[in-house]
Amino acid sequence: MDLSLYEISLGLLEERGILEDVLAAEPEMDKSELRELLQGVLDVHEHLIPKIGAAIAAQPHDVIFLSGVGEVYPYIRSHNVLNNLQSTAKDKPTVLFFPGSYTHSTATGGSLDLFGLLHDDKYYRAFNILNYEV
């Protein structure tokens, strides 16, 4: 199952009837105002995870592929998605396509470094799939 965070976000804005309003207002808004607006209307816990949960429940699958992380940054942060997704997508493996690197050390745990620049030292129950052979 392929789920794009970008496509899901656009769908949420359309469903709420505010996509056109957001697009019209965007040129006049400060970046920080736009970020706050989108973080609110696309709240991971309240809106995004329930939408992902509905998609997971509606379609049989063996693996969940999450993409679109770079397209929704900084409005949606990958660590928020992963932390909130644990209760929803607990029965099948999830693969996050991430434009950056995943580093792990025993001292600090895991970190997703977006675009290879933005370091996020949150703990993840994750591993780098490139380190495993099938």
The pLDDT tens digits of the residues spanning 42-74 come to 999 999 999 999 999 999 999 999 999 999 998
State residue 72's pLDDT score. 95
Question: What dihedral do alpha carbons 52, 112, 38, 25 form, nearest 10°?
Answer: -130
Indicate the pLDDT class of residue 118, thresholds 50, 70 and 90: low
CA dist 45 and 48 (Å) reads 6
pLDDT of residue 2 exceeding 70 = yes
Provide the pLDDT for residue 111: 73
Rounded Cα–Cα distance for residues 27 and 23 (Å): 8
Distance, in Å, from the CA atom of 11 to the CA atom of 33, rounded to the nearest integer, reads 21
pTM: 0.84
Taking the C-alpha atoms of residue 102 and residue 51, their distance in angstroms, rounded to an integer, is 26
The average pLDDT across 110-125 equals 66
Helices (H) and strands (E) in the chain, counts: 6, 6
pLDDT confidence band for 10 (50 / 70 / 90): very high
Q: Residue 53 CB: number of other CB atoms within 10 A?
A: 15
What is the spatial distance between Cα 70 and Cα 120, in angstroms, rounded to a whole number? 14
The one-letter amino acid at 115: F
What confidence score (pLDDT) does residue 119 get?
Answer: 61
Q: Give the model's pLDDT for residue 122.
A: 61
Tracing tokens 């580093």 back to the chain, one arrives at 103
What's the pLDDT at 26? 94
